Amino acid sequence: MTTTVKIGIVGCLGRMGQAITATIMAAEGAILCAGSEVAGHPLIGSTLDGLDITVTDNAKEVFDEADVVIDFTPPGNTAVHAAFAAEAGTALIVGTTGMAAEDHAALDVAAEKIVIVQAGNFSLGVNLLMALTKQVASKLGTDWDIEILEMHHRHKVDAPSGTAVMLGEAAAEGRGASLESLRADVRDGISSEREAGAIGFAALRGGSVIGEHDVIFASGSERLVLSHKAENRTLFADGAVKAALWAAEGKAGRYTMQDVLEID
C-alpha cells in the first residue's frame, strides 16, 4: 500500500516556497496540503495556482494539517514553528539560515518529540562537498590555510551563508577541532598576520546569484579549490522534498541532510 505524505509549506509564496510547491506537485508519494505567509501579505486568502489551497497567515493551521512542514522562512520564526510542530506531532524540515542560539535550542527541544531535519543546504552536491572538505582537511596540515568564499544574491541577509558555515564546520572537524576554536576574525582595515590553522570566511553579495561556494586550501607552493555552484533553486527544493519524505518515516530526533543522503 502506497502512503501519500501530506506536506505543508510556511512561506509558500517566497522564492523557495514556490520552487518547493512545484517540486511537491511533481513528486511521487507527496501532496501539498497547506501553505502560509506572513500577516499582511497581499495574497493572504487567495488560492495557490491550480490547487484548492487557501494561503493563510496562521502558520499553526499548516502544522495541524500536514504530516511534514517545510520551513525556509527568514531567521526569527524557527522557535515558534518548532513549538507548533512539536504540539501537532508534525515532522519539520528547516532550511532557514542565520539562526540564533535560541532557535537551535528550540529545535533540540522539539526533536525530543518529532523528526527534525535541519541543514544550511539541501543539495546533494553541497553535502558531498562537505564530506570532501572534511576528508581533505584531515589529510593536510596546518601549513595549508583554509579560506571559504561564498557569493549570493543581493537580497540575502545573513553572512557568511549557512552553507559556508557548514563547510567551515566540516573543515574544522577534519582537523579534529571545533569551528569556534579555529574561526578567523573578519578582516577589515589593518589586521594581524594570519594565524596558522585558522579557517577564514569571505562573503560576496550581488545581483541574482543563487549560491556559489569555494573551499580554498592554500600552501606556500600550491592551492586546491573545491567548488560548488547552484544553477537554480530546484536542487534545494528537490532535497527538501526528499528530506520530507524521509522524515515522514523516521523516529524522533534531530537530523541533517547527511543523514537523509546517508553520506558519512
Active-site residues: which are they?
A: 152, 156
Q: With residue 131 as reference, give the H or E element that holds it.
A: helix 124-139
What are the helix (H) ranges across 178-224? Answer: 179-182
Q: Cα–Cα–Cα angle for 213, 217, 218, nearest 5°?
A: 130
Residue for cell digits 505524505? 5
**Mind giving me the DSSP string for 63-120?**
HHH-SEEEE-PPTTSHHHHHHHHHHHT-EEEE---S--HHHHHHHHHHTTTSEEEE-S
Of 99, 89, 79, 122, nearest in space to 252 by CA: 89
Most distant CA atoms of the chain, gap in Å: 65
C-alpha dihedral sign at 81, 85, 86, 88:
positive
